[in-house]
């Protein structure tokens, strides 16, 4: 392009008129909060923009500080409360104002449950136009000290020559320095208190990628490293873990491996006298108490009989499949990741359950072409990821199942998939929330559908 054309003085306006000026990060603004969003943030409206304010509650007058702006959406953080919602409480955690983890600590636990119940009901009504015939009571556990797995963020600050250890800040890649976390189970809280000192004592702390902590049949610490560890650093880690009674696992370029070969690691499903092997990096429900209650409710709702064939989709390590196998004639369990299929099958064998079959399949695709679907099923259990199971449920009535339990970690996709199930003749009999993540706005739910 010539210089004359570049400087021709033409000005092009975007469609819709003049673009509104951006609001600078850090600006403070007084707002009136109207309601709570699905992620627990307060919603306010001002000058044609929608503000999402973390830390704010409905019907509050607040001052908020801008974190970032996207068009007419402003993300902000509470700075000051002028008029508080009567339900507001002091957040128990000293890191609440910065950490991006537990965003509902300022709301009493009973109010948190009511919010999650309302969000689930609104999604089902708005998207699917239905409500369950029966609302189940929330499945709950302790509101603190519940989390048996945690991923700890680690980053080397080359300028300050310091290793940052903690959890991600809200709406940021910054790491909040944390050496205690109220939602971790007690054994992991003890490890967390000493972890920053341990990692900073390494001769090359900059090679640490992240750390994962797990509490199950044993305690474990997985350290992900981006370059080989020195003999001295490995010795420091082994000494710490030995004194703390913690298994040490390392992960370089390949799979996580225990430093001491042959160590067993897993979690128990005590009501069923089951023990499932686990490796750091595998998916596992982080809340053991609610997980147990969830399985108990799923079994009660699905009511598998001794002569029935049951399908478990998105089976993971066998969290539902193995308890189901104790009641049904046969369980067919399907998972998308081959390594998980193999570990689930091994878990069935180690628990002396031989009426289970495990298969790998792409569960983002329809089921009809799968050989294991032949013969049909009396009942189906689904526990999909956040994307839901749209392709799976589109023709699920063809399997002949009269009862279907859907465990969801995203009410929006549960509601979307409910539309399909209702279209195929299923009725939403029961639904309720699972409080898997207290102090957060994350909503897990269970729904029972029956044919006819």
* 133 annotated as a binding-site residue: no
Residues 342, 262: Cα–Cα separation, whole Å: 18
**Residue 54 near residue 96, CB atoms below 8 Å:** no
Instruction: Summarize pLDDT for 317-342 with one digit per residue, the tens.
Output: 999 999 999 999 999 999 999 999 99
* Domain range annotation of the chain: 23-88, 113-142+287-451, 149-265
Residues 433, 409: Cα–Cα separation, whole Å: 10
pLDDT at position 281 is 86
pLDDT at position 364 is 85
Write the DSSP string, 210-222: EEEEEESSSEEEE
pLDDT at position 174 is 85
Residues 54, 78: Cα–Cα separation, whole Å: 6
pLDDT at position 12 is 41
Q: Residue 427's closest CA among 227, 1, 131, 80?
A: 131
45 membership: H or E segment, kind and range: strand 42-46
Q: Mean pLDDT in the chain?
A: 92
Q: Is residue 95 helix, strand or coil?
A: coil
**How big is the CA angle at 108 (ends 102 and 109), to the nearest 5 degrees?**
75
* 319 annotated as a binding-site residue: yes
Q: Is 241 a catalytic residue?
A: no
Query: Among residues 317, 401, 404, 409, which one is catalytic?
Result: 409
Torsion of CA 141, 143, 145, 146, to 10 degrees: 40
Q: Name the residue with higher pLDDT: 179 or 356.
A: 356
Residues 280, 284: Cα–Cα separation, whole Å: 9
* 315 annotated as a binding-site residue: no
* 241 annotated as a binding-site residue: no
Domains 113-142+287-451 and 149-265 share a fold: no
Write the DSSP string, 141-189: --SSS-B-EEEEEEEEETTTTEEEEEEEBTTSS-EEE-S--TTB-HHHH
Write the DSSP string, 337-374: -HHHHHHHHHHHHHTT--SEEEEE--TTS-STT-GGGT
Instruction: Summarize pLDDT for 123-180 with one digit per residue, the tens.
Output: 999 999 999 999 999 999 999 999 999 999 999 988 888 999 999 887 677 898 887 8
- Residue 147 has, within 13 A of its CA and on its CB side, a CA count of 21
Instruction: Summarize pLDDT for 59-69 with one digit per residue, the tens.
Output: 999 999 999 99
- DSSP character for 205? G
Say which CATH topology domain 23-88 has: OB fold (Dihydrolipoamide Acetyltransferase, E2P) (2.40.50)
User: Span 6-26, mean pLDDT?
Assistant: 58
Q: Residue 266's closest CA among 313, 322, 305?
A: 322
Q: How far is CA 357 from CA 62, 342, 353, 382, 428, in A?
A: 56, 11, 10, 16, 29
CATH architecture of 113-142+287-451: 3-Layer(aba) Sandwich (3.40)
* 312 annotated as a binding-site residue: no
- DSSP character for 27? -
Position 419 pLDDT exceeds 80: yes
Beta strands in 216-307 (DSSP E): 219-225, 246-251, 257-258, 266-269, 274-277
Position 19 pLDDT exceeds 80: no
* 102 annotated as a binding-site residue: yes
* 285 annotated as a binding-site residue: yes
Q: How far is CA 436 from CA 106, 397, 411, in A?
A: 18, 30, 14
Give this prediction's pTM: 0.91
SS (H, E, C) 383-437: CCCCCCCHHHHCCHHHHCCCEEEEEECCHHHHHHHHHHHHHCCEEEEEEEEECCC
Residue with tokens 């709406």: 171
* 383 annotated as a binding-site residue: yes
Q: Which residues contact 362 (CB under 8 A, 6 or more apart)?
A: 336
Residues 330, 416: Cα–Cα separation, whole Å: 30
Say which CATH topology domain 149-265 has: OB fold (Dihydrolipoamide Acetyltransferase, E2P) (2.40.50)
């Amino acid at each position: 392009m010539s210089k004359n054309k570049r400087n021709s003085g033409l000005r092009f306006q975007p469609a819709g008129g003049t673009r509104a000026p951006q609001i600078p990060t850090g600006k403070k603004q007084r707002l009136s909060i109207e309601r709570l969003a699905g992620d627990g943030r307060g919603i306010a409206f001002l000058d044609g923009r929608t503000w999402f304010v973390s830390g704010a509650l409905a019907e509050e007058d607040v001052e908020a500080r801008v974190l970032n702006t996207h068009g007419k959406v402003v993300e902000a953080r509470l700075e000051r409360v002028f008029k508080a919602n009567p339900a507001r409480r002091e957040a128990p955690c000293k890191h609440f104002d910065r950490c991006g983890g537990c965003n509902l600590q300022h709301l009493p636990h009973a109010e948190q449950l009511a919010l999650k119940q309302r969000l689930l009901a609104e999604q089902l009504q708005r998207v699917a136009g239905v409500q369950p015939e029966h609302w189940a009571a929330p499945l709950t556990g302790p509101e603190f000290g519940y989390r048996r797995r945690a991923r700890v963020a680690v980053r080397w600050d080359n300028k300050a020559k310091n290793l940052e250890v903690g959890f991600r800040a809200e709406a940021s890649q910054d790491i909040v320095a944390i050496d205690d976390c109220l939602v971790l189970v007690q054994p992991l809280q003890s490890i967390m208190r000493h972890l920053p000192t341990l990692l900073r004592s390494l001769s090359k702390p900059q090679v640490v990628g992240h750390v994962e902590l797990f509490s199950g049949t044993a305690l474990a610490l997985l350290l992900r490293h981006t370059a080989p560890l020195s003999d001295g650093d490995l010795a420091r880690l082994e000494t710490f873990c030995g004194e703390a009674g913690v298994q040490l696992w390392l992960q370089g370029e390949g799979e996580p491996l225990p430093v001491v070969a042959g160590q067993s690691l897993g979690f128990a499903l005590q009501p069923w006298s089951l023990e499932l092997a686990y490796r750091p990096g595998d998916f596992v429900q982080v809340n053991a108490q609610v997980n147990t209650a969830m399985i108990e409710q799923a079994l009660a709702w699905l009511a598998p009989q001794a002569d029935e064939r049951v399908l478990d989709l998105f089976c993971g390590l066998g969290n539902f499949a193995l308890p189901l196998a104790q009641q049904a004639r046969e369980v067919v369990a399907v998972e998308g990741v081959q390594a998980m299929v193999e570990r689930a099958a091994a878990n069935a064998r180690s628990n002396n359950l031989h009426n289970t079959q495990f298969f790998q399949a792409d569960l983002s695709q329809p089921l009809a072409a799968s050989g294991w679907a032949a013969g049909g099923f009396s009942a189906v259990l689904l526990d999909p990821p956040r994307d839901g199971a749209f392709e799976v449920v589109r023709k699920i009535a063809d399997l002949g199942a009269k009862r279907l339990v859907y465990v969801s970690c995203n009410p929006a996709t549960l509601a979307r998939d409910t539309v399909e199930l209702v279209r195929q003749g299923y009725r939403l009999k029961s639904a309720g929330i699972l409080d898997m993540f207290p102090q957060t706005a994350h909503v897990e739910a269970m729904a029972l559908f029956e044919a006819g």
